[in-house]
Amino acid sequence: MGKLKEHLSKKIPDWRYNYRQLLDEKGEQVTSTVTIDKAYSGMKGVKGMICDTSSVTADGGLHVRGKHILDIVDLKPEEILYLLLVGEVPDKDTLLDLQQELKQRSTVPEYVWDVLSGMPKDSHPMAMFNTAILSMQKESKFAEAYDLVISKGDYWESTLEDGLNIIAKLPAIGAAVYRQRFDKGDRLEAGDSIDWSENFLQMMGLDYSDDMLKMMQLYLMLHCDHEGGNVSTFSALTVNSALSDPYYSLSAGLNGLAGPLHGLANQNNLKFVLDIIEHYKGVPSDEQLKQFSWDRLNSGKVIPGYGHAVLRCPDPRFTAFMNFGKDHIKNSDVFDVVTKLFDIVPDVLKEQGKARNPWPNVDAASGSLLYHYGIKEFQFYTVLFSMSRSLGIVSQMVLARAMGMPLTRPKSLTYEALKEL
């Protein structure tokens, strides 16, 4: 038994006790009022889910297990995974144990490569990535355990097994998708490193620097989780609530992440930045950029990377990327435009008066860093987002099974029924 599972098994009994106590004491407490306009607006703001791994406040942004994201930007993705699951940052020995465990689980079945090689050459990287995950469903320990009619209280253990097996293989799968889809040559085997992010860069075949490794570690931890109501996590948890195994569930969630209103947003913002540079043949002046922003708004278009369904402040993940860029990136037109946009766009949006949140979200900066370090294949960006978000989705699935969460089944109403209210 790895230290992660050992430590988690000690936490779960107390969590279950607290959960039962809460239901006994406050089970009838109202958490949210659902109005018709909420029902017609994607249920935004309706408080009807449980998520202990992270929370997002309008004026503070993302907190992972109670820790503000800007206070933990130096953590590696593996440390974030442990924090999401156990609620604590691992010590050095525990981190090493987890890294070694993931390394041992990282071998991808040969048939997965056969599946990928059989896909059309112009397949979207996300379709390839998700197909690879789903093709491994036959390896599911949860499905195997469920067929043996194990105790419901033990479901979390095989869910964790599946989750760790999937996460361990994501660097190899993601790198293989990158090399195959963008004609980078034959698939590369993993090196000796036990670092999840470094193995990924090695298998991508990139000539990376220490700064690029730090950037990739930052990218893969910042997108790890964002409560339970975002499209990818909610979809995965809903599927998992039917006791579909993590292969089915994660693949379902990541299919949602492939949407333009979710995981594709970062590449759309980068296209916007590059269009500005092309239009002005370089970095525009402040006045030029202000006029460009107004022209775009007056034509009925939005400014990509600005606004968020929950936040009413600059996304702290954006701040983390900007801080990194200021420390490590010099002489980059792309990053300079991103910086200028942050100085100009919020005031433009405030003056226009239509945006509820004029501040940048994470997508306003993330693509520019990838582009600067040579990852210029836009369609691949969502795969990177998926690798990171898988950490949170897997963690939430494990905890849902540990708490015995039931099937998700909200009630729907017809238009006629609403008229009669």
Tokens of 29: 């407490």
Residue 67 — φ and ψ, nearest 5°? Answer: -100, 125
> Distance of CA 50 to CAs 47, 252, 408, Å?
9, 20, 11
What's the CA gap between 364 and 357, in Å, rounded?
14
Sheet with 61-64: strands ordered across: 54-57, 61-64, 67-68
Instruction: Judge whether 68 counts as a catalytic residue.
Output: no
Q: Which residues contact 400 (CB under 8 A, 6 or more apart)?
A: 237, 240, 241
Name the catalytic one among 63, 195, 363, 372: 363
Name the catalytic one among 63, 223, 226, 308: 308
Give the length of the chain.
421
- Alpha helix stretches (DSSP H) within 32-191: 36-39, 77-86, 92-104, 110-117, 125-135, 141-147, 155-181
Instruction: Judge whether 226 counts as a catalytic residue.
Output: no
133, 250 contact by CB (below 8 A): yes
Instruction: Judge whether 363 counts as a catalytic residue.
Output: yes
DSSP assignment of 345-413 equals HHHHHHHH---S--SB-THHHHHHHHHHTT---GGGHHHHHHHHHHHHHHHHHHHHHHTT---------
> Distance of CA 204 to CAs 175, 182, 310, Å?
5, 11, 35
171, 203 contact by CB (below 8 A): yes
Name the catalytic one among 63, 223, 262, 372: 262
Active-site residue set: 262, 308, 363
